[in-house]
Amino acid sequence: MKKILLIILSIFISENTFADQPKDWQLGFQNPASDGMRDIVNFHNNLLLPIIIAISVFVLFLMLYACVRFRASANPNPSKRTHNVTVEILWTLIPCLILIVMAVPSFKILYKQDTIPKADLTIKAVGYQWYWGYEYPDENIIFDSYMIEEKDLRSDQPRLLSVDNEVVVPVNKVVKVLITANDVLHAWALPAFGVKRDAVPGRINETWFKAEKEGTYYGQCSELCGIKHAFMPITVKVVSDEDYQEWLSEARVKFAKEEIENGKLKIASK
């Protein structure tokens, strides 16, 4: 009984500590934490989903009608009709109109995602096999982010999503993310922010987000990149301006020390 209570308590604490993360048997999107993700959710729930349901119901009705109306027992002398011009015009024009209705708001969202406003903070994310490296070019901070093994997890850390070094950003600030890869194709994706960009060796892609509430957000590499593709998560911690400045002060010392201890030579200002 005590063990069950501890499990329930840990779940309750986790749901209130972390802003959002994947849940068991989840069917829909994660809760939006940015304006961009809210646009995507509204587009899906208010436009795409009703259209998809209507089309599915209509096609099901046609299939059932055809099975009943044109069954062999009811049509001993089958029709020899080969086509119907009116029907063919309708089933060409109507899908075109539906696609136009979906395309217009879709293009608006894509254009908004690709138009990066003036950034308050720039971060560079580099995909490796199989972990992420991060740079804060304006702060001369550089570090690697590895997934925490299951045996080392704390009770409040989700499996396959927690990392040793989190990306930390201030709340309500425009964060520009430069994304590339060192070896093969990867993809930097954060569902709660509506962000997903390919990490391509030799090329830098850009994206951005503006987190609206504090918390810890999780994502994963979303491009098949090898045997450990499922083991390179992304963790972004959104904090207040005061906490962010405090983290910056600590990070400048912590990661400089780690670079020296590991015998690495990395220049964050590249």
pLDDT digits (tens, 9 = 90+) for 101-157: 999 999 999 999 889 899 999 999 999 999 999 999 988 899 999 999 988 888 888
Mean pLDDT, rounded, for 210-220: 93
Give the pLDDT confidence score for residue 257 in this predicted structure. 55
Give a three-class secondary structure readout of the chain. CHHHHHHHHHHHHHHHHCCECCCCCCCCCCCCCCHHHHHHHHHHHHHHHHHHHHHHHHHHHHHHHHHHHCCHHHCCCCCCCCCCHHHHHHHHHHHHHHHHHHHHHHHHHHHHHHCCCCCCEEEEEEEECCEEEEEECCCCEEEEECECCHHHCCCCCCCCCCECCCEEEECCCCEEEEEEECCCCEEEEEHHHCEEEEECECCCEEEEECCCCCEEEEEEECCCCCCCHHHCEEEEEEECHHHHHHHHHHHHHHHHHHHHHCCCCCCCCC
Q: Where in the chain is the domain with CATH 2.60.40.420?
A: 121-261
Q: What is the pLDDT of residues 184-205, one digit of tens each?
A: 999 999 999 999 999 999 999 9
The pLDDT tens digits for 101-110 are 999 999 999 9
166-184 exposure pattern, b = at least 16 Cβ within 10 A, e = fewer: bbbbbbeebbbbbbbbeeb
Q: Sorting pLDDT into bands at 50, 70 and 90, what band is 2?
A: very low
Q: Output the six-digit token pair for 99.
A: 């696609």
| pLDDT for position 17 | 44
Q: What is the pLDDT of residue 77?
A: 83
| Comparison of pLDDT for 73 and 174, the residue scoring more | 174
**What's the CATH superfamily of 121-261?**
Cupredoxins -  blue copper proteins (2.60.40.420)
Global model pTM greater than 0.85: no
Q: Looking at residue 20, what is its pLDDT?
A: 66
Note the pLDDT tens digit of each residue in 218-247. Answer: 999 999 999 999 999 999 999 999 999 999
Confidence at residue 27, expressed as pLDDT on a 0 to 100 scale: 81
**Does residue 16 have a pLDDT over 60?**
no
Asked whether residue 11 carries a pLDDT value surpassing 90, the answer given is no
